[in-house]
Amino acid sequence: MRSFVAAALGLGLLGVGSAVAAPAIPAAPAPPSARFDATYTAIAKGMTAGEFSFHFSQSEGGYQISAQRRLTGFVRLLAGDRQDFSYSVDGAVTNGVLQPANYQHSGGSRHRVVRATFTADDVVTAATPSMGMGHPPTTAAQRRGTVDQLTAIADLITTQGDPCSRSVRVYMDGRSRFDFVLTPNGQVNIDSSVFRGPALRCSVRFVPIAGFSDPQQAQQLTFIFARTQSGLYAPLLIEMPTNEVGLVRLEARDIRVNGAALR
């Protein structure tokens, strides 16, 4: 599994405590309009390797997301800007469900621009310069009913149910198809510069399906979410194993919900 998939999909945490049997926090309904802004730091082998920023806004009938990822520090000295990307997506909100319409990302060593158009029956991808569509490429049936990786994050943020009890069908970067299967794994106490209090821990199974440029294996990840008074779930952490650098953590550096910091 490519190590910087985490930066495109994951989020982060500082100072996870031990598992606790904290009382459940009633989830408030997600509001019809909301804003979520966050910055995360990627850490690999004890070094800061990159950063990921995520900006989500939702209105009564639609939503917009933008995100950026970039290498930092010593890793940037070695690799330059070859893993820097910018992302955007817009779509509709129907009965509380986020439905992507237009996805785009740009960057990488070839400065490629990829656009994906989501419809009810399929997802159509266009790339300049052109790119391979993976081995094997996805089928229309595999693409049907999927969301891009930015919408997948926003779907977990805005869910009115338990974010740890669901599956998300993801079509990442207009090419790679996989499922995230989330199951509850208790609660933890968090005491960090970003958030203090009980949070939900999810075990997340990454299930590759098709459209990858290199061989993939199923992996087990960890997500941690803070339930906020606004009704939104703030992602605090993703931990994931990688073939290249071992365990990668994405840790929250700043989170603001409707303009206000969590702590």
For residues 51 and 40, give the distance between their C-alpha atoms in angstroms, rounded to a whole number.
6
Q: What angle do CA 27, 32, 38 make, to 5 degrees?
A: 70
pLDDT of res. 30:
53
How many other CB atoms sit within 10 Å of the CB of residue 251? Answer: 21
Sign for the CA dihedral angle at 13, 158, 211, 175 comes to negative
The length of the chain in residues reads 263
139 with 210: CB under 8 angstroms? yes
Q: Where are the beta strands (DSSP E) in the chain?
A: 16-20, 34-44, 47-58, 62-71, 85-94, 97-107, 112-118, 123-128, 166-172, 176-191, 196-210, 219-227, 233-242, 246-257, 260-261
Rounded to two decimals, what is the model's pTM?
0.86
- Block residue for tokens 């920023």: 53
7 with 149: CB under 8 angstroms? no
pLDDT of res. 252:
94
What are the domain boundaries of the chain? 5-60+134-261
Condensed to tens digits (0 to 9), the pLDDT of residues 33-60 reads 799 999 999 998 888 889 999 999 998 8
With a cut of 70, which residues of the chain have pLDDT below it?
1-32, 77, 79-80
Alpha-carbon distances of 97 from 88, 92, 191, 250, rounded to whole Å: 18, 8, 32, 26
pLDDT of res. 31:
57
The amino acid that residue 214 corresponds to is D
Condensed to tens digits (0 to 9), the pLDDT of residues 185-200 reads 999 999 998 999 999 9
At 66 the three-state DSSP class reads strand
